[in-house]
Copies of this chain bind each other. A is one copy, B any other.
């Protein structure tokens, strides 16, 4: 898998990577373990401070890890990682080590304990800014502390999930329905 050369991105500019609405991989660390989850329900909320809102359903193994550690990394994959995105979204960190299982490289972050995913195109290190909506909606408001993004390509192909195992991608549709557990569709 490709590993990108990255440069720092001012955190006020992360909208370029998140506003188009790609599926992201959220990595976390807690009690000596790491995990990764697939997330499609997120929105930019502010430029300065750089805020991102994420709906993390309580059934995810990552939910408590992120709530307890109050940190995560939002990693943006490209279509090269489609199999990993689907696999990560259809397995549980309670049962497997997702970095090892999916052949992804954890890289130490600068500002948080959660590892970056080296094979992702962008890595946004986040701290929980406001947990006031977590109990009611599972909605976490994160502040982006620092961000690194690939130097090129400028506009990579990203995955945009429509449900039902289907991703929209750069005008083409990649269906991985057959790789989904029925209850995840």
Q: Which A residues are within 8 Å of any B CB, using their own CB?
A: 13, 15-17, 19-22, 40-46, 51, 53, 55, 132-133, 137, 139, 141, 155, 157-158, 160-164, 168-173
* Distance between A57 CB and nearest chain B CB, rounded to angstroms: 9
Chain A at the B interface: SS class: mixed
Contact partner, A141, options B137, B141, B164, Cβ 8 Å: B137
Contact, CB under 8 Å: B45 / A161: no
Residues of B within 8 A of A21 (CB): 19-22, 160
Closest B residue by C-beta to A40: B19
In the A-B complex, the 9 residue pairs with the smallest Cβ-Cβ separation, listed nearest first, are: A21-B21, A170-B171, A20-B160, A171-B171, A43-B43, A16-B162, A20-B168, A19-B40, A41-B43
Contact, CB under 8 Å: A19 / B43: no
Residues of B within 8 A of A158 (CB): 168
Residues of B within 8 A of A164 (CB): 16
Residues of B within 8 A of A55 (CB): 43-46, 53
Contact partner, A41, options B13, B19, B137, B157, Cβ 8 Å: B19
Most chain B CB atoms below 10 A, which of A40, A42, A168, A171: A168
